[in-house]
Amino acid sequence: MSIKIQRIDKDLPLPQYSTTGSVGFDFVAREETVIAPKQIALIPSNNIIEVPQGFALFVVPRSSMPRKTGLVFPHSVGIIDQDYSGPEDEIKIQVFNNTDQEVTVKKGERVAQGIFVKVEVEDWEEVAEISQISRGGFGSTDIKGKDG
Using pLDDT thresholds of 50, 70 and 90, give the confidence band for residue 135: confident
Q: What is the pLDDT of residues 1-56, one digit of tens each?
A: 899 999 999 999 999 999 999 999 999 999 999 999 999 999 999 999 999 999 99
Q: What is the pLDDT of residues 58-108, one digit of tens each?
A: 999 999 999 999 999 999 999 999 999 999 999 999 999 999 999 999 999
Q: Report which DSSP code applies to 140.
A: G
Estimate to the nearest angstrom the gap between the alpha carbon of 21 and the chain centroid: 19
The pLDDT of residue 147 is above 70: no
Separation CA 101–CA 43 (nearest Å): 17
Q: Which of 80, 85, 107, 105 is nearest to 95 (CA)?
A: 105
Kindly state which CATH superfamily the domain 4-121 is placed in.
Answer: Deoxyuridine triphosphatase (dUTPase) (2.70.40.10)
Separation CA 14–CA 144 (nearest Å): 49
> What's this model's pTM, rounded to 2 decimal places?
0.85
Q: What spatial distance separates the first Cα and last Cα of the chain, rounded to whole Å? A: 38
Where along the chain do its domains lie?
4-121
